[in-house]
Amino acid sequence: MAETMAETRKKGAEGPDAGLDGFDREQLHRFLREMLLYRRFEEKAEEAYAIGKIGGFCHLHIGQEAVALGFIGPLREDDYVITAYRDHTQALAKGVEPGPVLAELYGRKDGVSGGKGGSMHVFDVEKGFMGGHGIVGAQIPLAVGMGWAIRYREEDRVCVCFLGDAAVNQGALHESMNMAAIWELPVIFVVENNEYGMGTAFSRVSAVPVLERGEGYGIPTHSVDGQNILETWTFVEELVQEVRDGGGPQYVEARTYRFKGHSMSDPVSGTYRSKDEVEGKKEEADPIALLREKLFEAELLTQEELEELDEEVRAVVDEAADFADDSPFPEPEELYTHVYSEINEHGRLFLDSRDR
């Protein structure tokens, strides 16, 4: 999915029929459809969580869909994406099938990670989606390692590493930016600045804005409106090409906003941000609504088409839900599989003296 999107853009198209900002009608509809899919998927997850089909922590990406689509859509399938625990829609954007992602959230056998990872640990190595990491900032050195491997093998892939605004305060970013800079690795550090880390406004834990925090490493820094898919996509498309061509590491702030609570167990608003603030953002900065209105205005979308698209993605999500529901729980034996890739011929690896 992702890579076709990356390819089909008709650069040539111009004039009134060209569409918008150099994107043709088909592409624009695909953008809308993708973001609607992410939105409906997360709503389904929310629903499933409420009735206990999903357990543990579950972090929704609602409100940040354009960041997932804009930074991942332009990539090739063989490019790498790595992120934190807020990983569902980014997985979808990288082309991971909705069914296996939802099945993972349900902790089922057919989940992408066999039900062992759960919501925070979605992995699909085939698709270049390298997870799903739960320790804030821990994915950053991993991304540098993938960038290192790309350079080591002289490939032209890129690695996109997502991190939250609060993760900027982890030493891991500092060490990673420096290593990426000295070895000129093809890594794009994307700070998804949704203004809060859980319940803490970034402005309370940093003396300077996110963008400025990227200075001091010799890495170019950029900031983009992460709620505007067209701006984001265009920017990323060019940036990725630059990195592919040996441009070295990049640091990008994607300005966005989280419409839901930090995780399913957290309130949408509270002491740390007002209901009005959230409602206001939903009003003015919903990436889907923004694109929709643009398309209406430019008469590139009709109400019927919109409803059709929505029907389509709802069908996809319902199918995914059925897939997840139909998938059994992992076999009990799975408890001891995948702890090690190699069970050595000699000696004992498991010391719990349980029978298995």
190 strand-pairing partners:
162, 252
Q: How far is the CB of 266 from ligand TPP (least distance, A)?
A: 10
Q: How far is the CB of 285 from its own copies (least distance, A)?
A: 27
Among 105, 143, 146, 167, which residue interacts with ligand TPP (rule: CB under 6 A)?
Answer: 167
C-alpha distance from residue 223 to each of 64, 201, 213, 264 (Å): 15, 18, 12, 29
- In the region spanning residues 181 to 210, those forming contacts with Mg ion, defined by CB under 5 A, are 194, 197
Q: Dihedral (C-alpha) 343, 348, 352, 354: value to the nearest 10 degrees?
A: 80
The pair of three-digit structure tokens given for residue 156, joined into one six-digit string: 């032209």
Q: Is residue 200 involved in binding its own copies (CB under 8 A)?
A: no
Q: Is residue 296 involved in binding another protein (CB under 8 A)?
A: no
Q: Is residue 133 involved in binding its own copies (CB under 8 A)?
A: no
At residue 85, what is the residue type?
Y
Among 112, 295, 316, 317, which residue interacts with another protein (rule: CB under 8 A)?
Answer: 112
At residue 155, what is the residue type?
E
Binding mask 180-219 for ligand TPP (x = CB under 6 A): ------------x-x-xxx---------------------
DSSP state of 337: T
Q: Is residue 68 involved in binding ligand TPP (CB under 6 A)?
A: no
Q: Is residue 255 involved in binding ligand TPP (CB under 6 A)?
A: no
CB 95 within 8 A of CB 3: yes
Q: Residue 181: how many CB atoms within 10 A of its CB?
A: 17
Angle at 81 between CA 39 and CA 157, to 5 degrees: 135
Q: Please tell me the distance from the alpha carbon of residue 206 to that of residue 12, in angstroms, as a whole number.
A: 44
Q: Which residue stretch of 76-84, 208-216, 299-307, 315-323 sits at the interface with its own copies (rule: CB under 8 A)?
A: 208-216
Q: Please tell me the distance from the alpha carbon of residue 18 to that of residue 134, in angstroms, as a whole number.
A: 43
Q: Which residue stretch of 126-134, 148-156, 193-201, 203-211 sits at the interface with its own copies (rule: CB under 8 A)?
A: 203-211
Tell which residue, 4, 153, 156, 154, has the closest CA to residue 77: 4
Q: Is residue 261 involved in binding another protein (CB under 8 A)?
A: no
Q: Is residue 175 involved in binding its own copies (CB under 8 A)?
A: yes
Nearer Cβ to Mg ion, position 212 or 331? Answer: 212
Q: Which residues bind Mg ion (CB under 5 A)?
A: 164-165, 194, 197
Q: Which residues bind ligand TPP (CB under 6 A)?
A: 86, 134-136, 164-167, 192, 194, 196-198, 262
